[in-house]
Amino acid sequence: MSEPSPVAGVVDTAEAVRAGEQRAEDVVAQHVARAKARADLNALLHLDEERALSAARAVDERRARGEALGALAGVPVVLKDNLCLDGVPTTCASRILEGYRPPYNADCVERLIAEDAVIIAKANMDEFAMGSSNENSAFGPVKNPWDLTRAPGGSSGGSAAATAAGIGAVALGSDTGGSVRQPGAFCGVVAIKPTYGRLSRYGLIAFASSLDQVGTMTRDVRDGARVLRVLAGHDKRDATSAVEPVPDYEAACAAPVSGLRVGVLRAALDQVEDPDVRAAFSAAEQSLRDAGCDIVDIELPHAHHGVSVYYLVATAEASSNLARFDGMRFGLRVTGDDLLSTYERTRAQGFGPEVKRRIMLGTYALSSGYYDAFYIKAQKVRTLMVQDYQRAFERCDAVLSPTAPTPAFGLGEKTGDPLAMYLADIFTLPPSLAGLPAMHVPVGLGQASGLPVGVQVTTPAFTEVRMLQLAAALEARSGYVCAPPALFGGAG
């Protein structure tokens, strides 16, 4: 048997395992070893070595019996720790859920396993998916594989770091306001947020239910397309799951883009000061021109309200969703302590500062006398943002923008200023509020920073095919390969 490539992706791994050129057990063992070697990243909260190797052996045994294998045969997967995996610790990186083991699998997990993927680990994250830097985890911050002094982005920073470092061929995250795309940008990996309802949210522990969406992180666009095809589809257990046909996303990656109209927000670009981000956007725009796309200037008049709207809607929904974690049914166990004191300690220590901040903001926005002034007004502006996109898509087929206003910032750089941290999601928030598919596409390394930079592609609802067409064209013309320093060693 040949050894698997140290940077083999989803498609290459699956095809090699299906053809008998590699054993799934060897592939998984190598990724487990890499996870241990890169413990310095703090990207994982639970490495499920024994169970993963057992699942990989089962895949090999099925192939030996001549059975057909699935589209993700032997592919090592890392799950964000807010996705339920039967019998495996799922904490949302919070002390209040420490020790919780779900008795069921999330829908996306069921779909992965059905296609012979192997779940190897649970990834670190911002507590309850609340953050933009992965510094809010109760189990310590994740470090960026490109520079250990920098943030990997959040809240899916562990998933992004694990993908960039080659710990998993694919990682799943969750995206509420940019929590797949922004860490994808910081760590230089392809990150896809599908249309709201395209993927089931069953088994995803809720933050903000009208915004949450499972997303994928891979090392290239084609890999992301194959995983998306596996995960997409209606789920009767999720009332928000869409009944829509699932096209061949992988085939879309080879489709020409000539003639597509790409909209650009010039006013938003004027607010970007970072030279690497500006250069990356200009290069991407020129690449699409060279590929035959028509570039048109568009406006989204209400997009600048995105941060304000998001932090009213999302925190209001969070305050409702997290009310269940009241210290009585979830949280610290009573072990001889007085019940009341245990309850008080859970309320005081169970949630971290950022989660408490957002619960308080949301509760205030929903309180008597402020519900109409804040929450209802935010929902009205959200509707205006949806209408802005509808008008824009009458003039263009896709919107191109930066994904983040800067490359990865330093650990601790923004923790003392929550507003500055929130502004890291300024470009990812509008598509989330409108429920649209959007993805981050890396296009290179910044000349000034030496860190990954890229762009965001947004298209109308349920047009992921068009989004992937453009992403694949950008990737092909950039020549970018995700290869952080010390990829297979320790600290870089």
pLDDT, one tens digit per residue, over 231-260 is 999 999 999 999 999 999 999 999 999 999
Q: Which of 151-155, 297-301, 334-338 has the lowest mean pLDDT?
A: 334-338
Structural domain for 451, as ranges: 10-300+390-478
Does the pTM surpass 0.75? The reply is yes
Residue 322 lies in a domain: no
Pick the range with the lowest mean pLDDT from 161-170, 366-375, 407-416.
366-375
For residue 484, being part of any structural domain is answered with no
Q: Tell me: pLDDT of 353 over 70.
A: yes
User: 339 pLDDT band (50/70/90 cuts)?
Assistant: very low
Arithmetic mean of pLDDT, 405-415: 96
**Pairwise pLDDT comparison (325 vs 89), residue with the higher score:** 89
Angle formed at CA 127 by CA 125 and CA 130, multiple of 5 degrees:
95
Please give the tally of structural domains in the chain.
1
Selected catalytic residue, list 94, 132, 155, 241: 155
pLDDT of 270 reads 82
**pLDDT > 50? residue 374:** yes
- In-domain check, residue 424: yes
pLDDT of residue 274: 96
- Work out the average pLDDT over 327-338: 48
**Nearest alpha carbon to residue 194 among 483, 479, 457:** 457
CB 125 within 8 A of CB 81: yes
More confident residue, 14 or 325: 14
Q: What is the pLDDT of residues 175-198, one digit of tens each?
A: 999 999 999 999 999 999 999 999
Q: Tell me which amino acid residue 50 is.
A: E
Q: What's 428's DSSP letter?
A: T
In a domain, 367, yes or no: no
Radius of gyration of the chain (CA): 21
For residue 408, how many C-alpha atoms fall within 13 Å in the half-sphere facing its CB? 32
Model pLDDT, residue 485:
81
Does the structure show a pLDDT above 90 at 453?
yes
Q: What is the DSSP letter of 68?
A: P
The answer to whether position 112 is within a domain reads: yes
Q: Is 210 a catalytic residue?
A: no
334 pLDDT exceeds 80?
no
pLDDT digits (tens, 9 = 90+) for 130-178: 999 999 999 999 999 999 999 999 999 999 999 999 999 999 999 999 9
Percent over 70 (pLDDT), the chain: 92
pLDDT digits (tens, 9 = 90+) for 84-105: 999 999 999 999 998 899 999 9
Q: Is 80 a catalytic residue?
A: yes
Beta bridge partners of 120: none
Judge contact between 100 and 144, C-beta under 8 A: no
Does 311 reside within a domain?
A: no
Which pLDDT belongs to residue 349?
A: 59
Marked catalytic residue, from 179, 241, 287, 449: 179
Asked if residue 330 has pLDDT above 90, the reply is no
Q: Is 163 exposed, middle or buried (0-12, 13-18, 19+ CB in 10 A)?
A: buried
Residue range 451-476: mean pLDDT, rounded: 98
Instruction: Specify whether the CB–CB gap between 124 and 142 falls below 8 A.
Output: yes
What pLDDT is attached to residue 21?
Answer: 97
pLDDT at 268: 81
pLDDT at res. 199: 98
CATH number at residue 119: 3.90.1300.10
In a domain, 291, yes or no: yes
Residue 385 forms part of a structural domain: no
